[in-house]
Amino acid sequence: MPLYTPEERKRRDASPWTLVQGILAPVQFLVFLISLGLVLRFLYTGEGAQAATISVVVKTLVLYTIMITGSIWEKVVFGKYLFVRAFFWEDVFSMLVLALHTAYLISLAYLPVYDQMLLALAAYATYVINATQFLLKLRAARLDQARLDAAQNVSGRVGIGQAETAL
């Protein structure tokens, strides 16, 4: 079954939220890489706690932003804010990602910095899995589109051949 119906594909292609997601996803990944480096530096050397903490907070805020805009995108394209057929399991796992990032923010008031950073690493591990889910879905959508384009080209050529035969 294709990822998008023809109507959903049209709404996806026409939506400004598609561009927003296309910009936010690599921005979030860049923020993640920088933050991961700072967190690992702190865990390894004990230095840079404040920079690591700020980076995880920034990463979490970017995550919230992409989740909110992604929900709006799903509403525009599929008619529901979350858990649509095409992205059900990605959305389910996104809830775990959000829960761990939110737990990190709560931990700022209760846990020692070292434990906070371990929690950040757990949140980041789930983020990597979730990002991989979405990348695989993007690849599947591109393959669906390539198959659709190929089928249209074949049917177009058959139609031309049939017309030439009829003449």
Q: In the numeric block, which tokens belong to residue 85?
A: 């057929």
- Nearest partner of 1 among 147, 104, 152, judged by Cα: 147
Apex 143 CA angle, 141 and 146, nearest 5: 110
Instruction: Report the pLDDT value the prediction gives residue 150, as an integer from 0 to 100.
Output: 77
In a domain, 11, yes or no: yes
In a domain, 138, yes or no: no
Q: What distance in Å separates the CA atoms of residue 108 and residue 57, rounded to the nearest whole number?
A: 10
In this predicted model, what pLDDT tens digit does every residue of 14-67 receive, in sequence order? 999 999 999 999 999 999 999 999 999 999 999 999 999 999 999 999 999 999
pLDDT (mean) for 109-119? 97
pLDDT surpasses 90 at 139: no
Total domains, the chain: 1
Sequence-distant (≥ 6) Cβ neighbours of residue 122 within 8 angstroms: 100
Q: What distance in Å separates the CA atoms of residue 49 and residue 10, rounded to the nearest whole number?
A: 47
Side chain identity, residue 103: A
In a domain, 20, yes or no: yes
pTM: 0.84
In a domain, 144, yes or no: no
In a domain, 166, yes or no: no
Instruction: Report the pLDDT value the prediction gives residue 144, as an integer from 0 to 100.
Output: 79
In a domain, 150, yes or no: no
Question: What residues make up the domain containing 44?
Answer: 6-130
In a domain, 101, yes or no: yes
Instruction: Report the pLDDT value the prediction gives residue 113, as an integer from 0 to 100.
Output: 97
pLDDT surpasses 50 at 167: no
If pLDDT is split at 50, 70 and 90, which confidence band does 155 have?
low
In a domain, 68, yes or no: yes
